[in-house]
Chain A
Amino acid sequence: MLHPDQRYIDALVNNDTIVLHELYQKYSGKIKWLVLKNSGTASDAADIFQEALLSIYNKAKTQAFILTCPLDAFLYLVCKNKWMNELSKRKSPRVTIDDVAVYNLGEDPIKQVEELILNEQRNDLLNKKIAELGENCRQLLRLSWTGKPMEEVANILNVSYGYVRKKKCECMAKLTAMIKQSDQFNSLKW
């Protein structure tokens, strides 16, 4: 049976402002307090909260995302993870978190949160490496990812179909190599 809080996930997917208002009203306070208590500002808290919701949204849009615990607990865990990452990025001397709430979560939600965070880190790495590719590769790959048939991509770029196919593989080989050579690669569990 679906958790009643699943409606908040649906609200994110459908950009339902009324339900999202309710979500902020109910859960923003705790996250704000978590961040403020751990070297952050209200503005940091707003960013972390928004990022967490966007991660959940992206997960829900790409895969069936079933909430197996109250959103309150899930969101808290996601935000806590994100804020710890942010603190270590800022090289803050304090990277342990003073919890403002303790939840007894089962194994599933913890795994879900870990997967969510990993997914996002993989995406960050991917975007970083795409940005490092040459403009020609970026343009070709971007066009192929729009879902257009390769014949059309070839037509747009004014090159032959065979060339576009070959070039795409070349670019993907380059991108894959760059991803694999990155420091973060092994920790991201591809």
Chain B
Amino acid sequence: MDENLFEKIEEYLNGDTSSEEKLRFETEMAKSEELNLAVTIYKRVETDMRYKLKNTIDESLLKETLEGLGNQYFQNANKEFPFEHNKSVQKNEHKATTIKMKIWVKASVAAVFIGIVGLGIAFYVNSNKQTTQLAANGEIADTLTIASAPDTSLTKSDLPAQAGKPEVLPTGGSNSNRLPIKNKRKNRATLFAENFKPDQVPVIKNGPLQTAFAQYENKKYADAIAAIDGADVNIVTRGEETDLVVISFYASYYKALSYMALNDGEKAIPELEKAIALHAPGKLKTKAYWYLSLAFIQTGDLIKAEKLLKQIEQGKTKAYKTVASKLIDELKDTK
């Protein structure tokens, strides 16, 4: 199937066709099984991948919860039968698995012990090296010494592309199969674009930030910022919203994310630092650190970004550890 046909599919699925063209395309689809299949696959790929990219962090957070529960329920429950039927058969097999599990449990305990000792040593060495103090919950820095330390170095990526390596950029009509080599600045922009997805609003939206959340969800980021500025975050409503720390956190956090969506990382940084300083619950704080590192990438401060990412990598929120490690690797290629 040729690429022109895929251009037609793309236009059809994006609704970029006139009603006449649409009808013609649908008639063709009804006649051609191959075209119909191509449209189905195209649609599925687009839907699945868009969802996957949008949902990476939420899914990772759920995975983290499930892993914790899995460790708790699957490593210890071996000694009990889940239900009563077929007991005689179960008894014999149970003996065998219990013996296996005892060895396994011993090995696990030993591994965990070695891990704790190892981590302890790493933590001790690390804490002596860094000025940043780890938060009491062992997650990431509470004080922002790294984030706000004056940075006197100019990173190479702040400089324009090297002279002597001219880039030939393809035009719209080019048949080239290769994308041009991007300059350093664009690399950073790509990194940011690939990793920055405005976080979803909280499940419970009621309260003083309700309007701001609605604007944010509708991608009206400037309006969201204005609504946050106009909100009285000291209003006590019900449930989760009574937690003023969380409300204040959300105000700064979503304001920062809105600035970032509007490509204004400079304004996002102090908001995120304010959010972090509020000592919100662990996962929220980690989220704020993640976006702060992205804001540093957005503004070109790759050194601060990397330092923060390393802190996230050393923290205990697995979801962000994975993405942080990946981004650190990508940053190395960017420099």
B335 within 8 A of A: no
Please, how many angstroms separate the alpha-carbon atoms of A15 and B81 in the complex?
A: 28
Convert A21-60 into 0s and 1s, putting 1 for each residue whose CB lies closer than 8 angstroms to a CB of B. Answer: 1001100111011001100011101110110011001100
Contact A166 B172, beta carbon cutoff 8 Å = yes
Chain B contacts for A142, CB-based, 8 A: 49, 53, 194
Q: In the assembled complex, how far is the CB of residue B260 from the closest CB belonging to chain A, in whole angstroms? A: 13
Contact A143 B46, beta carbon cutoff 8 Å = no
Chain B contacts for A180, CB-based, 8 A: 37, 41
B62 within 8 A of A: yes
Contact B62 A176, beta carbon cutoff 8 Å = no
B189 within 8 A of A: yes
A4 within 8 A of B: no
Q: Summarize A's interface: helix, strand, loop or mixed.
A: helix
Chain B contacts for A25, CB-based, 8 A: 73
Q: In the assembled complex, how far is the CB of residue A159 from the closest CB belonging to chain B, in whole angstroms? A: 6
Instruction: Name which residue of chain A comes closest to B283, CB basis.
Output: A15
Please, how many angstroms separate the alpha-carbon atoms of A20 and B51 in the complex?
A: 23
Instruction: Name which residue of chain A comes closest to B181, CB basis.
Output: A158
Please, how many angstroms separate the alpha-carbon atoms of A136 and B81 in the complex?
A: 53
Please, how many angstroms separate the alpha-carbon atoms of A28 and B80 in the complex?
A: 11
Would A20 and B66 be within 8 Å (CB), given that A29-B82, A32-B78, A101-B83 are in contact? yes
Contact A158 B74, beta carbon cutoff 8 Å = no
Interface size class of A (residues with CB under 8 A): 35 or more
Contact A15 B62, beta carbon cutoff 8 Å = yes
Please, how many angstroms separate the alpha-carbon atoms of A104 and B295 in the complex?
A: 54
A145 within 8 A of B: yes
Would A143 and B193 be within 8 Å (CB), given that A126-B48, A156-B186, A177-B1 are in contact? yes
Please, how many angstroms separate the alpha-carbon atoms of A190 and B42 in the complex?
A: 11
Contact A176 B1, beta carbon cutoff 8 Å = yes
B163 within 8 A of A: no
Contact B178 A172, beta carbon cutoff 8 Å = no
Contact with B74, one of A37, A43, A100, A166 (Cβ below 8 angstroms): A43
Chain A contacts for B65, CB-based, 8 A: 15, 17, 20
Please, how many angstroms separate the alpha-carbon atoms of A152 and B186 in the complex?
A: 12
Please, how many angstroms separate the alpha-carbon atoms of A175 and B123 in the complex?
A: 45
Please, how many angstroms separate the alpha-carbon atoms of A175 and B100 in the complex?
A: 46
Would A163 and B63 be within 8 Å (CB), given that A136-B179, A175-B45 are in contact? no
Chain B contacts for A163, CB-based, 8 A: 170-172, 174
Interface size class of B (residues with CB under 8 A): 35 or more
B274 within 8 A of A: no
Contact with B44, one of A14, A122, A168 (Cβ below 8 angstroms): A122
Instruction: Name which residue of chain B comes closest to A156, CB basis.
Output: B193
A82 within 8 A of B: no
A105 within 8 A of B: no
Please, how many angstroms separate the alpha-carbon atoms of A29 and B62 in the complex?
A: 21
Convert B177-189 into 0s and 1s, putting 1 for each residue whose CB lies closer than 8 angstroms to a CB of A. Answer: 1111011001001
Please, how many angstroms separate the alpha-carbon atoms of A167 and B100 in the complex?
A: 55
Convert B30-73 into 0s and 1s, putting 1 for each residue whose CB lies closer than 8 angstroms to a CB of A. Answer: 00000001101110111111111111001101110111011111
Contact A169 B190, beta carbon cutoff 8 Å = no
Contact A166 B3, beta carbon cutoff 8 Å = yes
Contact B78 A167, beta carbon cutoff 8 Å = no
Would A140 and B179 be within 8 Å (CB), given that A14-B203, A20-B65, A32-B74 are in contact? yes
Would A21 and B69 be within 8 Å (CB), given that A142-B53, A146-B197, A156-B190 are in contact? yes
A69 within 8 A of B: no
B77 within 8 A of A: yes
Return 19 A-B CB contacts under 8 Å, by A number. Answer: A15-B58, A17-B65, A41-B100, A42-B101, A42-B104, A46-B74, A100-B86, A139-B194, A143-B194, A145-B49, A146-B54, A146-B197, A147-B50, A156-B189, A157-B182, A160-B172, A163-B174, A166-B174, A172-B6
Query: Which residues of A are in contact with B by a Cβ distance under 8 Å?
Result: 12, 14-15, 17, 20-21, 24-25, 28-30, 32-33, 36-37, 41-43, 45-47, 49-50, 53-54, 57-58, 61-62, 100-101, 122-123, 126, 130, 136, 139-143, 145-148, 152-153, 156-163, 165-170, 172-173, 175-177, 179-180, 190
Known contacts A146-B53, A169-B4; 15 further A-B pairs (Cβ under 8 A)? A20-B65, A24-B73, A42-B97, A42-B104, A43-B74, A46-B71, A50-B70, A126-B45, A145-B50, A145-B52, A166-B3, A169-B6, A170-B3, A176-B42, A190-B40
